[in-house]
Amino acid sequence: MNRVDTATPSPAAPGVDILFGKYRMVQRLATGGMAHLFLATIDGPDGFSKACVIKRILPEYANLEPFARMFADEAKVAALLTHPNIVQVFDFGKIDGQYYLAMEWIQGQSLDRIMRHAAAANIPLGPRVTVDVGLAMSDALTYAHAKTLSDGTPLKLVHRDITPGNVLVSRDGIVKLADFGIVKSSVNLERTVAGVVKGKYAYMSPEQITNRELDHRSDLYSLGIVLYEASTGRRLFKRDSMEATIMAASAGDVPPPSHVAPGFPPDLERILLKCLAKDPAQRYQTARELHDDLERYRTAQHWTSGGRELASLMATLFPPDASGRVSTALAVPGSMPGSSPGASADASGMGSTRTPTGISGPSPFAPPEHAVDLREPSALVPTGMMPRSTGTGSTTGVIPPPEQAAADGAFPWGLAAAAGVALVGSAVFWLFIA
């Protein structure tokens, strides 16, 4: 995920159209394999202006039916979802041959970035923040999993990409789920291609990473990974190579949180381990069951509801600068496997070179030498191309701070290139910004 840390958006990058239909492009946020993302505004009379994010498909892909169809599928699914804990998509169209989505702009940070900054500041997120995030996400999934089409037909939605990068937290402590770019639903079910795995390896359920039939319980497993990492400060399945990550996620061996974070609350540990059961039948069967269990746990702790704890954390981790301006990320969910390796977005929205640095503030739960990259490339490879284990996987690592994450290894282009050849040949290669 590329983000821009700025309080006042800078002008659009050179060569970017200022006007795009009714939208005024303010700043390029990210560029990926087949789309650009922009901060934009809708302007009206008497100084009216509303900020939004525009996801615009690249011209070279606009006329390729598989790409355009999948982009339209994303719009169809997202447009059906209206929930306070889901990022709203409110417009979809085609201007000058370019498809686009217009979506809500969240003035805040992704959980991915919050975890990194918390590690740098040596501030454990702890059970309370974890429960707040879990309640919001389980509420969003309860709604999404139960959503029906206008005629009452079940949507049968499975998000398939529940990761810290797709959990956004506003400055006010509101938590929102983003990115329905690889969602599985009745809208696009008939277009699912056998032998293709979609998602991010370190957050896949065992059935997802082995390309078995999956349902909404897979999302609950992925959410369990996110909550495990947020509460312990430790990575669960991410290793220092893609191969080792795949093998760890496939095995699904989960050390109890209390083994990596001494003193971990037993009741919360029970909840997380139930989410992370290898057998879907042993997990929570619905997101509502998970939500209710988390709510009972919060009530037992006499914690108040609302986002005050998260808002306070945001203010601590991302304080105002010397001029009093609040640094916020123009949060753009999803990974970008098509972007240039070694580049990240700076305040101008253009690429900047990564500079290796050491860990300045490790998590208290593990030594810094075990730190690994929190980022995870999107998986889009035939299952037959999964590498075999060589027995060289590393131990689970701490959540690295932002500087360390930027300095870690690049995307494995060899495997991506091989996957690209296989998928383009079958007219389903789908590199996206999501």
pLDDT of residue 366: 32
The CB-side HSE value for 79 (13 A sphere, CA atoms) comes to: 14
pLDDT of residue 273: 98
- Nearest to 105, CA basis, from 12, 42, 182: 42
- Nearest to 393, CA basis, from 262, 288, 272, 238: 238
- Nearest to 3, CA basis, from 144, 169, 174: 169
pLDDT of residue 153: 84
pLDDT of residue 347: 26
Q: Could you please report the per-residue DSSP string of 238-260?
A: --SSHHHHHHHHHHT----HHHH
User: Cβ(221)–Cβ(354) under 8 Å?
Assistant: no
Look up residue 389 and give its two tokens.
Answer: 């284990």
- Nearest to 387, CA basis, from 252, 251, 244, 236: 244
pLDDT of residue 139: 97
- Nearest to 347, CA basis, from 18, 20, 28, 1: 28
User: Cβ(199)–Cβ(182) under 8 Å?
Assistant: yes
> Domains of the chain by range and CATH?
19-103 (3.30.200.20), 111-425 (1.10.510.10)
User: Cβ(170)–Cβ(164) under 8 Å?
Assistant: no
pLDDT of residue 271: 98
Longest Cα–Cα distance in the chain: 65
pLDDT of residue 151: 82
Helix/strand/coil for 387: coil
Look up residue 147 and give its two tokens.
Answer: 């959503």
Place of tokens 């690049």: 410
Task: Let me know if 161 is a catalytic residue.
Answer: yes
pLDDT of residue 116: 93
Q: Considering the entire predicted model, what is its pTM?
A: 0.74
Q: What is the pLDDT along the chain (434 residues), one digit of tens a residue?
A: 333 333 334 444 544 558 889 999 888 887 766 778 889 998 888 888 889 998 888 777 777 777 777 777 777 787 888 899 999 888 888 888 788 889 888 888 999 999 999 999 998 898 999 999 999 999 999 999 999 887 888 888 898 889 999 899 999 999 999 877 555 655 554 444 444 445 689 999 999 998 888 899 999 999 999 999 999 999 999 999 999 999 999 999 999 999 999 999 999 999 999 999 999 999 999 999 999 999 999 999 999 877 888 999 999 999 877 666 665 544 454 433 333 333 333 222 222 222 222 222 333 323 222 232 333 444 443 333 344 333 433 445 777 776 665 554 444 444 444 444 334 333 333 333 33
**Candidate list 139, 161, 219, 373, residue with the active-site label:** 161
Q: How far apart are CA 361 and CA 304, in angstroms?
A: 30
pLDDT of residue 182: 58
User: Cβ(206)–Cβ(236) under 8 Å?
Assistant: no
Helix/strand/coil for 135: helix
